[in-house]
Structure 1
């Protein structure tokens, strides 16, 4: 008997059938990957399981007992713990304090004192239960990303009743070394008998950490395989997800020569972040910059966009030296940044598609201080079609869209701006394979008329999309490999800091 059995689950939102007769099983002591493109139905299934949505039809059993999950509290009482993709933690509190946030009092009562010693004692007992190497007396804001993710997981597991853990894209912002630390914790939890549902867009991770995987497409479960079985049979997960033989995710490189230099950095240095960075970005090609998290990649992107001031070196746009003192100046000059953290730096999550799309070019979106509502709606609709936004609901707030579709809106902003230089930072974090292919195609389209720079900690992404590449290691550029460089050359330069 499976720990979790979901049978015949159906869910509709108006005329849209999000789930159709879905079955799903989960065993105790199993890591089960849940896969599918954005909109395939996996998020809806998880929200039903976590009590956020109510199912329309079907049954849910845990350890053989049928349960009704009509609210998040009912899910928690049933032993289901959820860690969202962007867990909310309080930075100036310790790890232990974050774990027991809301349960600080040793005794019930509004005016019961908070006992710091008791919190540490409970945290120690939790680590006895799940032996993990982490300093929970450290403030969360001082922790590396993987430790913050572990704190969020321990917060979800703080109740002894937890039997099922749902992890939503937990590795999206982790380095390779941090990812291994997280996987070590997941194996520890599995050994304790915990069942883990693991949602990821990084398909290579499925074969590294999961025992089984289930694929959703169009609101239906289309496949469920054991990882060992899938590896032996050479089953293609992308083909299952896309209902077709997955073609090349990256668009073909141009055969014509690149055009003139549009944007150039010469000896750009910012103490503690990056040093002596030089490159030339040309119209008609894509320049790729690969660097691990902490390599200075994010700081360099902000310096190129005027959000950070370099200590020395210079920037040149169309051959003229420029010094951006703010992002507004960079935008006005024709430089557009698609930031790595789209939720906090690229979008207004409470506002709709029209507002977000036109935000980067208010001169075009308004006349005499008044917004052009009709024209802006038409422009937003055309851009939504161009980036293949799904669903194409212009009045929906951005928080209601998937990560991939949020990224498409950021790109639509750039298209509306009609810039001369586009800088993409971590452009496909949390984005499924179908949306990635569309985003890469848009990058290639933009490169025909503008200079495009892609900066990413995903070596496969940089190598696959770029015509020329640079590696950034601890803030220092490592060579400028030629077109004949291999992925392994680029990876070695970014990880070891050595040109091959």
Structure 2
């Protein structure tokens, strides 16, 4: 396979920080090349240089053997490079076709030009002739599945005939396993047409499943580029990225003793019409309880109900043995419950505000003076700095806006908000979506540390995560729960939908 893209001697510095140090990288026609590395390793900076967000301080970029100058995103597009971001921005009220050709709807010019439906239909037919993908693009995006929306974003990126390099940034972060498999089939179709794919992921099992080659970055340097073969495992990739074994990802579980901690939160036959039925769980001080469920299983609704953001149709929530009426999240916060939401960007953070603002937002009483209600800025900054030193925020810039941090560091800011709140019960919903291995390890350590004095509930569609971090486990399927204390769960069957067990 010939090289589509070649980069030699690429360097990038931000002030005193050398983000990329003399990097060589290449992408071949018809391959998937995975970029691996923890936050700050350099992979995101390299991709931003390829896509024209940053310009390099040194080195050369060649497309099909010809040197190109990429100083802005339009340069990348003209050179044949397109990017699909982790959370593609699509217009839900428009069809897939209309989203793909947004801005190219008519042959005329100007803001008042009419949409030429026949024109965009012809363009769609030509696009699907190049990339034969089975999808109904006449459907509104708001009615599509997650993987269908991802496919629309990919087709939007490929609508120009000259695109040969496609960058996919964490495309499976919100997909179920069957949806991810469908996306991988689409990627194979693109590869057969000669498209080269740069694939960014934190899921090492995906690298083994679909990547032809991989490159590992660490501290701004390229550690290795390798081809997939039988010797490559999740453990070996993890060691290259972290300089430690994958087994160290999860902290040690609590010792099995006869004495259990106090029950801090309990549900009795909790139900939400059409979503949950007869949910009975106990959260004790000193342990982590894990709840596994795929998208649509009810884990999101359970998190909302426990946090006062979803009305119960029947059942009860008890805190320290007393029945509670949680009408709003404010009620839950006052009673010592804190939710780390699954969507940190829209539910966990005010992205345009700085770290200190975000970390103190859930407990303004603690953040303000007793007299007059003025924010205690210096004291708050000192407190938040201590929390984020514990969480290893990188870089530790408290006055930088949340939007300027990576996904893993944004999750640390959300968790700092929970630590500042000093809750008794912490609920983590999909806690490590889009978070690299290094940040995941730190988050799991903090969960275990919190469990020494609080009750922890982890709700996740990542089966390995639930098994790795939790002391006790239950599974949700179509709103109902199963508790498998004496079962060895069959992983592949569970992930395909439903709880399947084998007696030990």
For this structure pair, what is the TM-score category when the shorter chain's length is used for normalisation? Answer: over 0.9
Deviation at 1:115, TM superposition (A): 1.2
1:167 match: secondary structure: strand
Give the aligned partner of residue 420 of structure 1: 424
Alpha carbons of 1:425 and 1:374: their partners in 2 closer, same or farther (altered >3 Å)?
Answer: same
Q: 1:494 to 1:455 in 2, by over 3 A?
A: farther
Given the alignment of the two structures, is residue 377 of structure 1 paired with residue 378 of structure 2, yes or no?
no
- CA positional deviation for 1:266: 0.9
- Which residue of the partner structure matches residue 367 of structure 2? 365
Shift in Å at residue 393 of structure 1?
0.4
Q: Give how far 1:109 is off.
A: 3.9
Contact 1:471 1:494 in 2 (8 A): no
Instruction: Give the secondary-structure state (helix, strand or coil) at the position aligned to 1:134.
Output: coil
Query: 8 Å contact 2:490–2:501 — kept in the other structure?
Result: no
- 1: CA distance between counterparts of 2:501 and 2:33? 39
Distance 1:393 1:125, change over 3 A: same
Return the alpha-carbon distance in structure 1 between the equivalents of residues 384 and 70 of structure 2.
39
> Which residue is equivalent to 1:176?
177
Residues 307-318 of structure 1: pairs in structure 2 closer than 5 A: 307-318=309-320
Q: Does 1:259 align with 2:250?
A: no
Alignment of structure 1 residues 9-88 onto 2, 5 Å: 9-88=10-89
Residues 183 and 493 from structure 1, CA distance in 2 versus in 1: closer, same or farther, beyond 3 angstroms? closer
The two structures have a TM-score, normalised by structure 2, of 0.96
Asked if residue 451 in structure 1 is aligned to residue 455 in structure 2, the reply is yes
Cα distance, 1:488 vs structure 2: 2.6
Give SS of 1:276's match: strand
Closer/same/farther in 2, CA of residues 426 and 136 from structure 1, 3 Å limit: same
Is the counterpart of residue 139 in structure 1 residue 143 in structure 2?
Answer: no
Which whole-Å CA distance do the structure 1 matches of 2:321 and 2:29 have between them? 63
Instruction: Select the residue among 250, 271, 274 that pairs with 2:276.
Output: 274
- The verdict on how the C-alpha distance between 1:487 and 1:4 changes in structure 2, with shifts beyond 3 A counting, is same
Query: Structure 1 residues 182 and 249, CA, compared in 2 at 3 Å: closer, same or farther?
Result: same
C-alpha displacement at 1:497, in angstroms? 3.8
Q: CA deviation at 1:105?
A: 1.5
Specify the alignment match of 1:481 in structure 2: 484
Give me the TM-score of the superposition, normalised by structure 1.
0.97
Where does the alignment leave 5 or more consecutive residues of structure 1 unmatched? none
Structure 2 match to 1:468: 472
Q: 1:403 to 1:235 in 2, by over 3 A?
A: closer
Q: Distance in 1 between matches of 2:254 and 2:111?
A: 67
Q: Does 1:347 align with 2:349?
A: yes
After superposition, give the CA deviation of every residue in 1:218-243 in whole Å (9 maximum; x if it has no partner): 00100100012643x99700111113
Partner of 2:122: 121
Asked whether the 8 Å contact 1:459–1:491 carries over to 2, the reply is no
CA distance in 2, matches of 1:447, 1:50: 43
